[in-house]
Amino acid sequence: MATFKDFRNSVKPNWCPGCGDFSVQAAIQRAAANVGIEPHELAVVAGIGCSGRIAGYINSYGFHGIHGRALPIAQGLKMANRDLNVIASGGDGDGFAIGMAHTVHAIRRNIDITYVVMDNQIYGLTKGQTSPRSAKGFITKSTPEGAIEPSLKPLEVALSSGATFVAQGFSTDIKELTALIEAGIQHKGFSFINVFSPCVTYNKVNTYEWFKEHLTKLSDIEGYDSSNRELAMQTVMEKEGLVTGIIYQDTETKSYQEKIPGFAEAPLNSLDMNLSEDQFNQLVKEFM
Amino acid sequence: MLHQLSWKVGGQQGEGIESTGEIFSMAMNRLGYHLYGYRHFSSRIKGGHTNNKITVRPTEVRSIADDLDILVAFDQETIEVNYKELTEKSIILADAKFEPVKPEDSKAPLFVVPFTEIATELGTSLMKNMVAIGATSALLNLETSVFQGVVEEIFGRKGEEVVQKNMDAIQKGYDAMSELLGDRVGEWELAPADGKRRMFMIGNDAVALGAIAAGSRFMAAYPITPASEIMEYMIKKLPKLGGAVIQTEDEIAAATMAIGANYGGVRAFTASAGPGLSLMMEAIGLSGMTEQPLVIFDTQRGGPSTGLPTKQEQSDLMAMLYGTHGEIPKVVIAPSTLEEAFFDTIQAFNIAEELQLPVIVITDLQLALGKQTTDPFDYSKIQVRRGKLVDREIEPNDNKDYFKRYENTEDGISPRVFPGTPNGIHHVTGVEHDETGKPSEAAGNRNTQMDKRFRKLENLNFDTPIYVNAPHEEADVLLVGFNSTRGAIEEAQERLNEEGLKVNHAHARLIFPFPSSEMAPLVASAKKVIVVENNKTGQLANIMKMNVGGHDKIVSLTKYDGTPFLPGELKTKVKELLD
Task: Reduce the secondary structure of chain A to three states and give it as a string.
Answer: CCCHHHHECCCCCCCCCCCCHHHHHHHHHHHHHHCCCCHHHEEEEECCCCHHHHHHCECCEEEECCCCCHHHHHHHHHHHCCCCEEEEEEEHHHHHHHCHHHHHHHHHHCCCCEEEEEECCCECCCCCECCCCCCCCCCCCCCCCCCCCCCCCHHHHHHHCCCCEEEEEECCCHHHHHHHHHHHHHCCCCEEEEEECCCCCCCCCCCHHHHHHHCEEHHHCCCCCCCCHHHHHHHHHHCCCCEEEEEEECCCCCCHHHHCCCCCCCCHHHCCCCCCHHHHHHHHHCCC
The residue count of chain A comes to 288
What pTM value is reported for the model? 0.97
Instruction: Evaluate the CA torsion angle B64, B198, B370, B93 in order and state its sign.
Output: positive
User: Which residues from B are below 8 Å from A267, CB to CB?
Assistant: 265, 420
Query: A176 and A215 in contact (C-beta within 8 Å)?
Result: no
Task: Reduce the secondary structure of B542-558 to three states and give it as a string.
Answer: HHHHHHHCCCCCEEEEE
Q: What is residue B513's DSSP assignment?
A: S
Please report which confidence band the pLDDT of residue B16 belongs to, taking 50, 70 and 90 as the band edges. Answer: confident
User: Which residues from A are below 8 Å from B217, CB to CB?
Assistant: 268, 271, 273
A280 inside domain: no
Q: B466-578 has which fold?
A: Rossmann fold (3.40.50)
Q: Is B46 helix (H, G, I), strand (E, B) or coil?
A: coil
Q: How many CA atoms lie within 13 A of B470 on its CB side?
A: 22
Query: A55 and A73 in contact (C-beta within 8 Å)?
Result: no
**A258: nearest CA partner in chain B:** B244
Buried b (16+ CB within 10 A) or exposed e, A15-54: beeebbbbbbbbbbbbbbbbbebbbbbbbbbbbbbbbbbb
Residue B95 pairs with which residues in a beta bridge? B113
A76 interface with B at CB cutoff 8 Å: yes
State pLDDT tens for residues B308-325.
Answer: 999 999 999 999 999 999
A276 inside domain: no
A13 interface with B at CB cutoff 8 Å: no
Burial bucket for residue B148 (CB in 10 Å: 0-12, 13-18, 19+):
middle
Contact A66 B248 (CB under 8 A): no
CA distances to A123, A131, A200 from A141, rounded to whole Å, are 10, 11, 16
State pLDDT tens for residues B334-368.
Answer: 999 999 999 999 999 999 999 999 999 999 999 99
- Does the pLDDT value for residue B401 go beyond 90? no
Of B199, B243, B283, the CB nearest to A288: B199
Domain ranges of chain B: 5-184, 200-381, 388-463, 466-578
Query: A271 and B217 in contact (C-beta within 8 Å)?
Result: yes
Please give the pLDDT value at position A223: 95
**B240: nearest CA partner in chain A:** A262
Residue by residue, pLDDT tens for chain A (288 residues) are 899 999 999 999 999 999 999 999 999 999 999 999 999 999 999 999 999 999 999 999 999 999 999 999 999 999 999 999 999 999 999 999 999 999 999 999 999 999 999 999 999 999 999 999 999 999 999 999 999 999 999 999 999 999 999 999 999 999 999 999 999 999 999 999 999 999 999 999 999 999 999 999 999 999 999 999 999 999 999 999 999 999 999 999 999 999 999 999 999 999 999 999 999 999 999 999
* Homologous superfamily of domain range B5-184: Pyruvate-ferredoxin oxidoreductase, PFOR, domain III (3.40.920.10)
The mean of the pLDDT values for chain B is 96
Please give the pLDDT value at position B399: 65
> Pick from B58, B373, B369: which is nearest to B198 by CA?
B373
In angstroms, rounded to a whole number, what is the distance separating the alpha carbons of residues A140 and A159?
Answer: 29
In chain A, residues 122-181 whose CB comes closer than 8 Å to chain B = none
Please report which confidence band the pLDDT of residue B398 belongs to, taking 50, 70 and 90 as the band edges. Answer: low
User: Which residues from B are below 8 Å from A61, CB to CB?
Assistant: 419-420, 424-426, 428
Domains B200-381 and B466-578 are alike in CATH topology: yes
A269 inside domain: no
DSSP per-residue letters across B53-117: EEEEESS---S--SSEEEEEESSHHHHHHHGGGEEEEEEEEEEGGG-----TT-SS-EEEE-HHH
> Pick from A142, A93, A84: which is nearest to A113 by CA?
A84
In angstroms, rounded to a whole number, what is the distance separating the alpha carbons of residues B471 and B492?
Answer: 14
Domain assignment of residue A45, given as a range: 4-261
Query: B181 and B158 in contact (C-beta within 8 Å)?
Result: no
Of B244, B418, B428, the CB nearest to A263: B244
State pLDDT tens for residues B182-213.
Answer: 888 889 999 999 999 999 999 999 999 999 99
In angstroms, rounded to a whole number, what is the distance separating the alpha carbons of residues B442 and B449?
Answer: 11
A128 inside domain: yes
φ/ψ (deg, to 5) at A238: -60, -40
Please give the pLDDT value at position B205: 98
Burial bucket for residue B509 (CB in 10 Å: 0-12, 13-18, 19+):
buried
State pLDDT tens for residues B207-247.
Answer: 999 999 999 999 999 999 999 999 999 999 999 999 999 99
A268 inside domain: no
- Cis, peptide link before residue B513, omega less than 30° from 0: yes
User: Which residues from B are below 8 Å from A87, CB to CB?
Assistant: none
CA distances to A66, A71, A137, B395 from A44, rounded to whole Å, are 14, 11, 35, 23
In angstroms, rounded to a whole number, what is the distance separating the alpha carbons of residues B100 and B86?
Answer: 16
Task: Tell me: ipTM over 0.95.
Answer: yes
State pLDDT tens for residues B380-393.
Answer: 999 999 999 998 89
* Homologous superfamily of domain range B200-381: Thiamin diphosphate (ThDP)-binding fold, Pyr/PP domains (3.40.50.970)
A244 inside domain: yes
Q: Is B235 helix (H, G, I), strand (E, B) or coil?
A: helix
User: Which residues from B are below 8 Å from A64, CB to CB?
Assistant: 427-431, 439
Contact B420 A83 (CB under 8 A): yes
Domain count, chain A: 1
Please give the pLDDT value at position B47: 82
State pLDDT tens for residues B28-76.
Answer: 999 999 999 999 988 877 888 999 999 999 999 999 999 999 999 999 9
- Please report, for the domain that includes residue A235, its CATH number: 3.40.50.970
Q: Which long-range contacts (CB under 8 A, 24 or more apart) does A271-277 make?
A: A271/B217, A271/B241, A271/B242, A271/B243, A271/B266, A273/B214, A273/B215, A273/B217, A273/B267, A273/B384, A274/B215, A274/B384, A275/B212, A275/B213, A275/B382, A277/B379
> Pick from B459, B174, B161: which is nearest to B329 by CA?
B459
Query: B403 and B426 in contact (C-beta within 8 Å)?
Result: yes
